[in-house]
Structure 1
């Protein structure tokens, strides 16, 4: 089973799914997500931000400043989660609907519940 995705920037991705995918093994193929690069870039920025906050704490900076920076990191992480979720819905979920794989839906619901807590 081969299909094509077109990214927002016009890049065309074509990939095939192994036969195992037909038999309910939803995670037998690597996930092809458009936003992996963007997610990793944002992760690196968030990690750098956390390191900076750690340094602020070590340097005895004002608690209010530290809390504001922690809020900024939390917001960045939430946005990363949203990108991952959108990508998952646009790709894995579409595939799951095509193949009738209900486990993907169960996993997604569980993940959303943990993410939104």
Structure 2
């Protein structure tokens, strides 16, 4: 099912930016920056992670779910999707 991930390059790029952002927050903490600045940056990372999660979900729906339905694996893919959503949306 890996070949149907149209957004994977964008996902990887976004995760790399988030990784850099988290490193910069760590440096801000080491530099004893103001707590409100740290919290603002953490909120930005959370939002970015949520957006990556949405893109991964879109990728999954457009690729894996469609492919599974075409091959008659609806029950399995719906179960897996429900499990993933329950973990993602807490």
CA RMSD of aligned residues (A): 1.0
- Flag the structure with higher helix content: 2
Flag as ranges the 4+ runs of structure 1 deviating above 3 A. none
Gaps of 5+ in 2: none
Give the TM-score of the pair, scaled to structure 2: 0.94
Q: Name the SS of the counterpart of 1:34 in structure 2.
A: coil
Aligned length: 89
Q: Rg larger in 1 or in 2? A: 1
- Flag the structure with higher strand content: 1
Gaps of 5+ in 1: 1-28
Deviations 1:36-89 (A, max 9, x none): 110011000000000000000011000000000000001000100000000100
Match of 1:109 among 71, 82, 88: 82
Structure-1 separation of matches of 2:51 and 2:63: 18
